[in-house]
Amino acid sequence: MDFLTILAAADAGNAASEGGQFGINVSLIIAQALNFIIVALLLYFFAVKPILATMDERQAKISDGLQYAEEMKSKLAESEREQAELTRKASEEAQAIVKEARDQAKTYYDQQVQLTSAKVEDMIKQAKQANELDRERMLSEVRQEIAQLVVSTTGKVLSKDLSDDERSRFNDSAVSLLHGNN
């Protein structure tokens, strides 16, 4: 005998006492209730539970996606802040480099002006020295020529040829006179 048959026989006695009054078959209701419970359990384990698991999985993915999006937003904001900070630092460094380059250029310019001034002054000094040496040399040559002219003129005025000793004496005398006048 199977379970349903036993259940139907047990309920038949009860149904006759109760069911006869209302026309309800209790064993049929119990069998339908068991069928409903079995179908509900089958649906729960094979349909509802996998659907709930899939929904939980999707909800977790959505939650992870939202969390990832928030993380990316914060990372993007942090990246933008870092980029702004790096840009500011680079700008400050560039300004410092430009200022340093200007300072170095000014220092170099000042050094070159001083060096050029020193060279010009040195060249002027050398030119003055060269002029002084040329003047002295030319004066010496002029004195020599004047002395020779004096000796030559003296010899002609005296109408005689002078000896080397006399010429030397007249030259020395003319040179000493020329030096004394200058």
Number of domains observed in the structure of the chain:
1
Q: What is the pTM of this model?
A: 0.39
Q: Which domain holds residue 126?
A: 3-181
pLDDT at 15: 47
10-residue stretch averages of pLDDT, the chain, 182 residues long: 60 51 85 96 93 95 95 95 95 94 93 92 91 88 80 67 76 75 55
pLDDT at 106: 93
Output the DSSP codes for 30-94: HHHHHHHHHHHHHHIIIIIHHHHHHHHHHHHHHHHHHHHHHHHHHHHHHHHHHHHHHHHHHHHHH
pLDDT at 96: 94
Size of the chain, expressed as the number of residues it contains: 182
